[in-house]
Structure 1
Amino acid sequence: MNGTDEGISAWITVNFLIGSLKTAGSNSVGMLDLGGGSTQITFLPRVQGTLQTSPPGYLTSLQIFNRTYKLYSYSYLGLGLMSARLAILGGVEGKPEDGKELVSPCLSPSFKGEWEHAEITYRISGQKAVNLYQLCASRVSEILQNKVHRTEEVKDVDFYAFSYYYDLAANVGFIDAEKGGSLVVGDFEIAAKYAVSPPVCRTVENQPQSNPFLCMDLTYISLLLQEFGFPGNKVLKLTRKIDSVETSWALGAIFHYIDSLNTQKS
């Protein structure tokens, strides 16, 4: 299953669990997922301008439960959190650095260590400099430049966010690690700036070695959401379960498969 199909299946899961697929005209919610290698965004556009200006490959027709939905759904391969880390560090997927040390302002200046990604081990270290957050944000912006399609409608759609969005929010205490919760997009930027305590980029617990990527990850998520078009005051819901049911794309995929079989029989 490709990333776009996962995004659509996750959209089905969430909207089924909140009941928006049961009644025609019910307001659906959007879905944001941030994995290690890719990130997905899926929602049901209600503004004609979104349908008219979306690039090729961003709109897909979904038939399920005797209804047809024209979804905006796209998977950005290479913009998952782990792939983004490597790009921010200056590495290249699948290419060992042959002992070269990757230096980044998004890591604590005192940090030196190793990081394994896709079965390759990289030597990494922090950069000694002032204005670390600005330097880190500038580097992340370079990675995201012209990579993400922005749509104005997302600011008016309710969204659920999953995977690393959830993990990072729980890590810095914005949501309960078990129950989830809500936050505004701007909270990620606040946390990223808090993780930068001049002159060091640190974790919330002031222990750089425990999570040397915290500053980088929070900065990346903050700027990624802004690139999608989310304003700082936009509320996101983060959860792993709705009515005690896991919000996994697998449930939506099963529904879609069963529904397609019924359609073929009829």
Structure 2
Amino acid sequence: MESSAFRQSTPGIQELLDIAKQNIPFEFWKATPLVLKATAGLRLLPGEKAQKLLRKVKEVFEASPFLVGDDCVSIMNGTDEGVSAWITVNFLTGSLKTPGRSNVGMLDLGGGSTQITFLPRFEGTLQTSPPGFLTSLQMFNRTYRLYSYSYLGLGLMSARLAVLGGEEGKPAEDGAELVSPCLSPGFRGEWEHAEVTYRVSGQEAAGSLYQLCAHRVSEILRNKVHRTEEVKDVDFYAFSYYYDLAANVGLIDAEKGGSLVVGDFETAAKYVCRTAETQPPRSPFLCLDLTYVSSLLHGLGFPGDKVLKLTRKIDNVETSWALGATFHYIDSLSRQKSPTL
């Protein structure tokens, strides 16, 4: 297959299978299921291209000695991604294991999509949530009614493309340059996204770079995110690009993580954008990215003084959706095997 993504991922997949062989007793290999779930990056690819990639991965699985089902390789929908990350963080914080302990919410900002998931306590949240924002989860003999939504196309890289004026999966017409108020005046460069290279540049200064960029970002986000008031009363963990951006500008320790208030992103955005007006920034997209994150959180209903916890690990376990997806998969298998009472 021509896909560079597959050529790059195949050795990694085989390496993981080799690790599994080293750690799982030989007699259990045939009973150990293999599951691979892809996220927004593949959801944004044209359907046939994504399916070709999945078929190639399944071929690698079928050549292994492990249990391979018909649906062992699939593209995870956005809601499942958010719910799985919620399971992970609530399991690691002890909320799922301790009755009566408050659950925490989850914010994940990937490249192609962004998720928000929490367990509502107020009836008003349940009543006012749009269709598709509530989902039921059965885990550990309990049923949870979660507020969970994945915004496809509002991940940091996809949003960056939209702010720049490009379209997902399409080169700029006739190789035209994408000119943006979110880039430093006079900046010119190239940016690659989803195997497409774009020529980008900043526009001539016509006012505050932050204000111009914030206005452009607000146009992209307008009517695209649902605001819910309850988020201000829920403890939230934030992952992925939230963490990376905060660490990049010194809001948290790059290794240990930490806590910040939502308004810190806006403060950092204003500083970075103001600096970029007069001197080349160390990262040409930092003004854009910070402004976007600040606007996104505001649009979701987070006030400036709301504290977020940013971490990559809890008790030395990574806070990704993968652990939660594994728990959910095993739990569903156990329910399938259990007789109906």
Fold-level match, TM-score > 0.5? yes
Query: How high is the TM-score relative to the length of structure 1?
Result: 0.96
1:132 is matched with which residue: 205, 209, 218?
A: 209
Q: How does 1:1-266 map to 2 (within 5 A)?
A: 1-97=76-172, 98-129=174-205, 130-197=207-274, 200-201=276-277, 207-208=280-281, 210-266=282-338
Rg comparison, structure with higher value: 2
SS at match of 2:175: coil
1:66 maps to amino acid: N
1:122 maps to amino acid: Y
Which whole-Å CA distance do the structure 1 matches of 2:139 and 2:192 have between them? 41
More deviation, 54-63/18-27: 18-27
SS at match of 1:183: strand
Q: Deviation at 1:212?
A: 0.2
Query: How high is the TM-score relative to the length of structure 2?
Result: 0.75
Q: Deviation at 1:61?
A: 0.4
Which whole-Å CA distance do the structure 1 matches of 2:177 and 2:277 have between them? 18
Which whole-Å CA distance do the structure 2 matches of 1:150 and 1:240 have between them? 26
SS at match of 2:238: strand
1:12 maps to amino acid: I
Which whole-Å CA distance do the structure 2 matches of 1:183 and 1:133 have between them? 21
Q: Deviation at 1:25?
A: 2.3
Question: Which consecutive unaligned segments of at least 5 residues does structure 1 have?
Answer: none
Two-structure CA RMSD over aligned residues (Å) = 1.1
Deviations 1:44-90 (A, max 9, x none): 00000000010111100000011110000000000000110111011
SS at match of 1:196: helix
Corresponding residue of 2:66: none
Deviations 1:28-58 (A, max 9, x none): 0000000011000000000000000101111
Q: Deviation at 1:207?
A: 4.2
Higher helix share: 2
SS at match of 1:63: strand
More deviation, 126-135/44-53: 126-135
How many aligned positions are there? 261
SS at match of 1:150: coil
**Percent of aligned pairs with the same amino acid:** 82
